[in-house]
Amino acid sequence: MQNTVNFLACPYCISPLQSDMRCNSCNTTFPVKNSQPDLRIQRPVTVDVKYNYTPEFGSFPWEKASLNWPVMNDLTKKAGWDNVEANMLISVPKAEGHKLSLDIGCGHNRQRFQEGLRMLGYSTFGIDIDGNAPDALADAHFLPFADNTFDLIMSSAVFEHLKNPFLAMKELHRVAKPGAKIVLCIAYNEPFHISYFHHSPLAVHELMVSMGITPHQFILSWEWNSFNSNLHMGFAGSRMPAFMQKIFEKSVKTYALFPARIKGLLKGDRKKVDAAKFSFARSHSGVVSVIATKD
Ligand SMILES: [Zn+2]
């Protein structure tokens, strides 16, 4: 990514950074290693997060939730993209004109969305807390960018690792351009994996709406569910043999769909089976994904 100096900003005071990664306003100098600026926060910071509280509980626009991702382009899944990466990429429209994307938590050794986003015509910028693949090292709670910089923001499997998701969402909102598209995937029913807050659909909705972002579509997973994620991550994942995992996964799915299949005379009623899958995913999806815009 060239000309990054144009939009890089001091994560403490959001003043533009000089080409030597120095902030003239607060006099912080950030190190650069192998041409990768290290713009991570280096000292404790006290920050106010303005939060719009509404006194209602449990309300969620279930009509915006589905099991299927919208197909917005003709990308096909490449070797090396996992399912959620491929689905997130397929939900992004092709860039018209010069469009800049940000990947928050892009990956330490490989920027997971870079290849796909470039194929869609985006200029990409990726940050992570560590590693040599990111264009810059940065903390999602203190994004080192000017306001209204990005046309598209992607983030997969990051928000559950944040200490204060509201602060990070406020920052995401700040660096997104008005009208920017936002595609996120956040852990819901996954085992602990050095993660702070796992998010239900209600939590993702609250997080976005309270920070001024409008969610348009939520995607829940029938395949990557609480049972499946527990088999592949954490304690069980490392211990149960693969053939046992397959039997267990299949049994859970068969059991979950059994009443709907009986009602639909074993397989006649597709709608009842789809409704049962959705109902299962509502409470057991491993992740919650969302497509949103900053209005
Ligand atoms: Zn500064």
Let me know if residue 63 belongs to a domain. Answer: no
Confidence of residue 3 (pLDDT cuts 50, 70, 90): low
Of 55-69, 97-111, 126-140, 247-261, give the lowest mean pLDDT range. Answer: 247-261
Residues 157-180 have pLDDT tens digits of 999 999 999 999 999 999 999 999
Q: Are 122 and 243 contained in the same domain?
A: no
Residues 109-161 have pLDDT tens digits of 999 999 999 999 999 999 999 999 999 999 999 999 999 999 999 999 999 99
Distance 34 CA to ligand 1 centre (A): 22
Q: Are 18 and 152 contained in the same domain?
A: yes
Residues 201-239 have pLDDT tens digits of 999 999 999 999 999 999 999 999 999 998 888 766 667
Q: Are 206 and 260 contained in the same domain?
A: no
Distance 211 CA to ligand 1 centre (A): 24
Distance 58 CA to ligand 1 centre (A): 40
What is the percent of the chain where pLDDT is above 90? 81
Confidence of residue 103 (pLDDT cuts 50, 70, 90): very high
Confidence of residue 194 (pLDDT cuts 50, 70, 90): very high
What is the percent of the chain where pLDDT is above 70? 95
What is the average pLDDT across 178-206?
97
**Structure confidence at residue 2 (pLDDT):** 47
Q: Are 199 and 239 contained in the same domain?
A: no
Q: Are 93 and 230 contained in the same domain?
A: no
Let me know if residue 53 belongs to a domain. Answer: no
Q: For residue 138, give its domain range.
A: 4-42+68-225+281-294
The count of structural domains within the chain is: 2
Q: Are 155 and 230 contained in the same domain?
A: no
Write down the mean pLDDT value for the chain.
Answer: 93
**Structure confidence at residue 172 (pLDDT):** 98
**Structure confidence at residue 242 (pLDDT):** 85
Q: Are 140 and 241 contained in the same domain?
A: no
Residues 89-102 have pLDDT tens digits of 999 999 999 999 99
Distance 139 CA to ligand 1 centre (A): 15
Let me know if residue 57 belongs to a domain. Answer: no
Distance 138 CA to ligand 1 centre (A): 14
Q: Is 60 exceeded by the pLDDT of residue 5?
A: no
Distance 19 CA to ligand 1 centre (A): 14
Confidence of residue 285 (pLDDT cuts 50, 70, 90): very high
Q: Is 80 exceeded by the pLDDT of residue 267?
A: no
**pTM > 0.85: yes or no:** yes
Q: Are 114 and 233 contained in the same domain?
A: no
Distance CA 186, CA 220 (A): 11
Residues bordering ligand 1, an ion, CB closer than 5 Å: 10, 12-13, 15, 23, 25-26
**Structure confidence at residue 1 (pLDDT):** 45
Q: Are 116 and 170 contained in the same domain?
A: yes
